[in-house]
């Protein structure tokens, strides 16, 4: 049974639902039921007995233009594990691009970042190439960048705090750097942080990163490791935006592409296209009165 939850504004009219039902029938995947969730009122839940995401997702987009959606093969539960990317996911920036601005190299570095996040470049190679460009940058630029440039994504702290209040463990895993991720994780309330480390000597960046590099395989392995610790049946949620998040999103029960690159979004089993991450709490049917506001 494919379960689909759709957050759309305005709420889809009956005509849209009827057109969607007809399109499903023509695709050989007849609708079983469709109703607004009791608590949220903003989320439409659809059940399709023989549904497949590959066929249904394009129809959902065509008929509802949702801000957010989630597809699952069974009853949707509140996850007991959340594993998230940091840059352009839990924060609104790419730290390495902002740091490069202090070296007058933001445009050059950002172009490499964009290509890497689209999957056009090997992540590890692209990371090392960008860090090499920052050789000699004063260490003080890190603290200044963190204070002046880095800010949480709207709803990020509330999402983490609310899921923790409902029993979830939270992990921030990033291809970025601990010097940014550690304070971000503390601010947002994550339980564990995994990332890369910039090498520094005599107060300046050496242009190198400590090995081994935290990459796509690290993110996926972290999710699987943490899920194993929780035991069988514990639902997992992963959130990310770029190519190095894709394997992690696919491995999770609920893999959410947040304002993501096209290939990453296509591989995920859910998406959030609006800015506010609390859209996920609505998709998970957590009543606003039970949110931990941060």
User: β-pairing, 254-258 with 236-240?
Assistant: parallel
Residue 36 has pLDDT above 70, yes or no: yes
Find the DSSP H helices in 48-136. 53-64, 95-101, 106-117, 123-133
The catalytically annotated residue of 74, 87, 143, 191 is 87
Say what percent of the chain tops pLDDT 70.
99
What's the Rg (C-alpha) of the chain? 20
C-beta neighbour count of 136 within 10 angstroms: 10
Query: Which pair of structure tokens corresponds to residue 64?
Result: 């509802």
Q: Is the pLDDT of residue 54 over 70?
A: yes
The band of 52, judged by pLDDT with boundaries at 50, 70 and 90, is very high
- What is the separation, in whole angstroms, between the first and last Cα of the chain? 36
Question: CA distances (Å), 34 to each of 12, 43, 46, 48, 62, in order?
Answer: 11, 10, 4, 9, 17
Please check the confidence at residue 38 and state whether its pLDDT lies above 80.
no
What mean pLDDT is predicted for residues 134-163? 97
Tens of pLDDT along 234-270? 999 999 999 999 999 999 999 999 999 999 999 999 9
Q: Is the pTM of this model over 0.85?
A: yes
B/e letters for 60-84, b = 16+ CB within 10 Å, e = fewer, are beebbebbbbbbbeeebeebbbbbb
**Model confidence band, residue 39 (pLDDT cutoffs 50, 70, 90):** low
Residue 241 among the catalytic residues: no
Cβ contacts of residue 231 below 8 Å, gap of 6+?
Answer: none
Q: Let me know if 85 is a catalytic residue.
A: yes
| pLDDT over threshold 80, residue 40 | no
Does 188 score more than 70 pLDDT? yes
Catalytic position from the list 85, 241, 245, 253: 85
CA nearest to 98, candidates 179, 195, 194: 179
Please give the structure tokens belonging to residue 290.
Answer: 């039970």
């Amino acid at each position: 049974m494919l379960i689909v939850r759709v957050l759309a504004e305005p709420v889809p009219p009956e005509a849209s639902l009827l057109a969607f039902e007809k399109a499903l029938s023509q695709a050989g995947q007849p609708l079983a039921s469709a109703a607004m969730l009791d608590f949220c009122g903003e989320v439409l839940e659809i059940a399709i007995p023989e549904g497949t995401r590959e066929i249904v997702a394009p129809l959902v987009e065509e008929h509802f233009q949702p801000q957010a959606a989630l597809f699952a093969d069974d009853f949707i539960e509140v996850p007991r594990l959340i594993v998230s990317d940091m840059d352009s996911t839990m924060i609104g920036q790419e730290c390495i691009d902002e740091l490069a601005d202090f070296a007058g190299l933001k445009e050059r570095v950002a172009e490499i970042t964009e290509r890497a996040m689209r999957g056009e470049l090997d992540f590890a190679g692209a990371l090392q190439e960008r860090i090499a460009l920052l050789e000699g940058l004063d260490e003080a630029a890190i603290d200044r960048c963190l204070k002046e440039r880095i800010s949480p994504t709207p709803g990020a702290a509330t999402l983490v705090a609310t899921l923790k209040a409902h029993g979830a463990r939270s992990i921030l895993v990033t291809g970025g750097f601990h010097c940014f991720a550690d304070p971000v994780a503390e601010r947002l309330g994550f339980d564990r942080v995994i990332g890369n480390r910039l090498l520094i000597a005599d107060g300046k960046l050496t242009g190198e990163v400590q090995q081994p590099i935290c990459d796509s395989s690290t993110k996926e392995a972290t999710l699987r490791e943490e899920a194993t610790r929780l035991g069988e049946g514990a639902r997992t949620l992963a959130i990310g935006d770029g190519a190095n998040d894709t394997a992690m999103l696919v491995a999770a029960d609920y893999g959410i592409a947040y304002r993501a690159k096209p290939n990453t979004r296509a591989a995920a089993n859910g998406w959030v296209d609006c800015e506010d991450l609390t859209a996920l709490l609505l998709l998970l049917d957590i009543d606003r009165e039970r949110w931990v506001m941060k």
